[in-house]
Amino acid sequence: MTRTADIHTSMQVNDTLQTLRERAGPAERRLLAMLAAHIGTLEDRVRRTEQECERLLDENVTDHAMLRAVIERMPAGVVVVESPSGRTVLDNEQVNRILRDPYLSTNDVRERLGRIRLHPDGRPYRPEECPLSRSIATGERVTDEEIAFVRPDGSTGCMAVSSAPVTAPGDAARYGVAVIRDITEQKQVEEELRTSRDRVALALDALQAGVSYWDFENDRAEWNPRQYELLGYAPGSVEPGMPALVDRLHPGDRDRVLAELERSSRERKDFVMEYRVCLPGGEERWVRSVRRFAYNAAGRAISSHGIMYEITDRKHHDAIRQKAYDQIEQNMEQFAILGDHIRHPLQVILARADLMDDAEAAASIRQQVRRINTIVRQLDRGWVESRAIREFLRKNEMA
C-alpha cells in the first residue's frame, strides 16, 4: 500500500467516525471517542514503523556500499554465494586476478571452482568437495586449505581457501563466504628454500658435520645428532648448550676456546678454531668449529649458528708430515757435517801418500781415498735429494 492510499484510508475512517458521532447517543459517543483515540495511536505506531523501515533501508544500502568498497580493496579474493543455489551475490575482482579466469560467467561458482582445482594426486575437486560447498552443506569452517589450481593457459598455481557459513539463529546456512589467497609465489619460495636446505644437509652429511644453534635471549640451544656424536654424547642424552660443550673441552684448550668465543662475539667476527675434545673413554678428538653470530639493533649478540667437523686424521697426518720434515732437516745437517769431517782428513792423507817412499803403499792409500770420496759424493747427493724433497713439500704445502 502506498503512502497516498494510507492517507485516503485515514480520511475515510475519520469521516465514518464523524457520521457515527452525529447519530449516536452519549454512551456510543464515548465509545467512539475511545475508538478514535486507539486508531490514532495505531496510526502513530504505523508512521514510526514506516520511518524505522526507511531508516533501516537507507542503512542497509549504505552498509552494502561500504561492504562492497571494503571487499574491492581487499588483497584477497572474496566470494559470497546463496544457499543452496550457489548463485553469486557478492564478489571482488581479486578472484579473477588470482585465477586469471572470468569464472563469474558460470551460474554456479562452486561448480566452476571445483573444476579448476586439483587434489594432490591431480584429480579435480568435485563441486561438493570445495570448502565453500562444505561450509554451506555441513556448517564446516575451513581455514587456509591449500589447493592447487589450473589456469586457462595451462599453468598451475596454489591458493589458500578459507570458508564459513552465514546463518541466522536456528536456521540452516543462508549464504557461504570464501576468502581466497594466492600463495603460488610463497609455495615456490618454500620449495626453493627446501631444495636449498636439502643440498646443505647433503653437504653436511657428506662432511659428517655437526650443526648447532644457540639462542642467547631465550637460553636455548639445538644440536643435530652428529653434534652430539662429535662430543661423545648419545643424541638427546644431554641438554644441548654451552655447559655440555665445556664439559668436553680439553683442559689444555678450554681457556683459549672460551676466550676466542667471547672475543669473536664482541668484535662481531666469525669464530674459527681447531681444538681438542675429550671423550668419555679418555680418547682425544680434534675438531674444527666455525660459528657466526647474529646481533640486535643495539649490537648485542642474540643468536649463533655453527658447524663442527672432526679433523683428528688430518692432525695425525700433519704430525707425521712434520716428523718426516724434521727428519729431513736433520739428515741434511748430518750430511753436511759428515761430508766436512771426512773431506778434510782425506786431503791430508793424500798429501802424506805423495811423500811416501813406498810406491805400493802410496797407491793403496790413494785407492782407498778414492773409495771414500765416492761415499762422500753419495752423501752429497743425499743432501741434494733431501733439499729437493723439502722444497717439494714446501711448494705443495705439505711441510
Q: What is the DSSP string of 286-352?
A: EEEEEEEEEE-TTS-EEEEEEEEEE-HHHHHHHHHHHHHHHHHHHHHHHHHHHHHHHHHHHHHHHHH
**What's the rounded mean pLDDT across residues 177-198?**
87
Does 32 score more than 80 pLDDT? Answer: no
Quick one: pLDDT at residue 104? 47
How many angstroms separate the most distant Cα atoms in the chain? 194
The whole-number average pLDDT for the span 241-259 is 95
* Amino acid present at 297: A
CA distances from 294 to 57, 214, 220, 222, 303 (A): 59, 10, 15, 16, 5
Where residue 153 falls among pLDDT bands split at 50, 70, 90? confident
Could you tell me which of 98, 149, 153 has the C-alpha nearest to residue 119? Answer: 149
Higher pLDDT, 384 or 83: 83
Across 8-12, 164-168, 348-352, 362-366, which has the greatest mean pLDDT? 164-168
Q: Which pLDDT band, with edges at 50, 70 and 90, does 63 fall under?
A: low
Q: Does residue 220 have a pLDDT over 70? A: yes
Is residue 273 scored above 50 in pLDDT? yes
Residue 16 in this model has a pLDDT that exceeds 50: yes
Four-residue CA torsion sign, 373, 376, 381, 387: negative
**Which pairs from 151-154 meet CB under 8 Å and 24+ separation?**
151/99, 151/100, 151/101, 151/116, 152/100, 152/101, 153/100
Find the mean pLDDT for residues 22-26: 62
C-alpha torsion angle, residues 357, 362, 364, 370 (rounded to 10): 180
Number of Cβ atoms within 10 Å of the Cβ of 98: 19
Kindly tell me if the per-residue pLDDT of 247 is higher than 80: yes
Residue 397 CA neighbour count, 13 Å, CB half: 0
- In terms of pLDDT, which residue wins out, 165 or 103? 165
Q: How far apart are CA 25 and CA 174, in angstroms?
A: 58
Is 262's pLDDT higher than 80?
A: yes
Label residue 52 by pLDDT band (50, 70, 90).
confident
| Mean pLDDT computed over 265-274 | 95
pLDDT of residue 109: 55
| Position with higher pLDDT, 181 vs 153 | 181
Average pLDDT taken over every residue of the chain: 78
Helices (H) and strands (E) in the chain, counts: 11, 11
Query: Does residue 127 or residue 193 have the better pLDDT?
Result: 193
User: Higher model confidence: residue 377 or residue 174?
Assistant: 174
